[in-house]
Structure 1
């Protein structure tokens, strides 16, 4: 049993609305200089959900399910910072009012998973309320491990264990090294993810990463994201694959920080089942949650 301070955490309502997809230009260049139309970010994505492959889509940074933002800048920051993976969400306006979802991640917007028939009833601009719960979460026996963006429900279902050496054992589907990590290194982990660098497809295939799935838990070795992102020999980060691949140079599937330790006190173990779709009741995997 991993002891936490969940009984000391505040649960608070935050909210936003379903974001429309936007384009800053008709096309943009991929890593070979060819132009492509960017599709996959924002809006309502009907056919890519938690548990689906991260590679292979004719899309850029595909965000599974529903992407939301708050048009008020400060309220948007609050929504990002106060929401954690696994938090409950409910549609509060429009035809889909009452439909229930779960937060699956965070990118430029907040990502929420809904059942397929609820996606069909959602509209751009519909409002969604989230029960933000998890900020301040601590692993009481591991003060050296920083917890980021994890709801208590996620931590309790990640099958974390303590080995005989007193280290935290965390199941992951893959391990990554710093040379694979690109865009987002300069950004704080409480707000946005860090992309893998995926344009060298031969390397990605050689490393066995083409089977990465949205929602997979992965380990980044020799990094520490406790206070920003940086290199740290012996450090370990446990992250979540939150969005799909990208054709842009320096980009690829996103890794959202969940746990970080500057010392080797997190031990990743390979387990193909280490995906949040297997840990939490995501509606896209269970059928309608509407009222």
Structure 2
């Protein structure tokens, strides 16, 4: 097993409430078509982790439940310290006491996304409060300081079946994304605080050629020549691993969102294609 400093990582509280969807105005597609579509926020009753991220009549659709705080400082902490795989517990409303888990962070709108089973969704309401056991920021590899870990629960990280061979870490991923396809979010100051960035999908022929059109919410992907160590940008030879967190989008420069969980400036992470490399399978 890959050695980490898991026993030294602080587990503490972060909390938000289910955020009402916002907007309702026209969104302009990359083809110049004005469209009115469901987008971010609220409770998505029929869009869940493990579903395909493509084909929805929506824009930036968030699977499951979207939470945030209206206090910007508190929401920044929620976005930063909630990690994929963290336990989420409902602490108000008809579903009080029921549990789910964090599936990603969505920058821009600044939502933390949470999966609950369908029967629990039926008992939820806008403004219900959800407590997260925030656990993961500060996780490090004991024997490889050139790889940075972020945004993932240490218990989930241990389940990813990562192997070390000949000085490289081999990580199971569903697909590999070239840097030229990465769009909205490039230039952000930190992949640990800013949520995600998008795979651009205006060129669907290229997406299909690369086999990325079947990506699902929760899938692990490898980002080629993408450095997320101290910001989000391009660096030849760098490698990042991320999780698909929101749906495809109609707007230019956008597409399925990726929350980064591992990054290195060197070519010391390799992706091993595995169609089952989805966080829902590891958590189960």
Please give the TM-score of this superposition, normalised by the length of structure 1: 0.94
Name the SS of the counterpart of 2:246 in structure 1: coil
Pairwise CA distance, 1:263:
0.4
Rounded Cα–Cα distance in structure 2 between residues aligned with 1:159 and 1:61: 30
Matched, 1:249 2:260: no
Matched residue count: 279
- Aligned twin of 1:40: 39
Deviating 4+ runs (over 6 angstroms): none
- Partner residue in 1 for 2:239: 236
**How many angstroms does 1:223 deviate by?**
1.5
Q: Secondary structure at the match of 1:232?
A: strand
SS in 2 for 1:279: helix
Q: CA deviation at 1:82?
A: 1.0
Match of 1:75 in 2: 74
The equivalent residue for 1:266 is 269
2:113 aligned residue = 111
- CA distance in 1 between partners of 2:98 and 2:129 (Å): 11
Equivalent residue, structure 2, for 1:54 = 53
Q: Which runs of 5+ in 2 are unaligned?
A: none
Distance in 2 separating the partners of 1:231 and 1:32: 27
Say which of 202, 224, 235 aligns to 1:199: 202
1:31 is matched with: 30
Residue matched to 2:141: 139
Counterparts of 1:231 and 1:40, CA distance in 2: 29
Aligned residue in 1 for 2:21: 21
- Is 1:148 paired with 2:150? yes
- Looking at structure 2, the residues matched to 181 and 274 of structure 1 have their Cα atoms a distance apart, in angstroms, of 21
Deviation (angstroms), 1:26: 2.1
Q: Structure 2 length normalisation: TM-score?
A: 0.96
Residue 288 of structure 1 is matched in structure 2 by none
Q: Distance in 2 between matches of 1:145 and 1:154?
A: 17
Deviation at 1:230, TM superposition (A): 1.6
Q: Secondary structure at the match of 1:203?
A: helix
Moved more, 186-195 or 80-89: 186-195
Unaligned 5+ segments in structure 1 are: 282-291
Shift of 1:63: 0.5
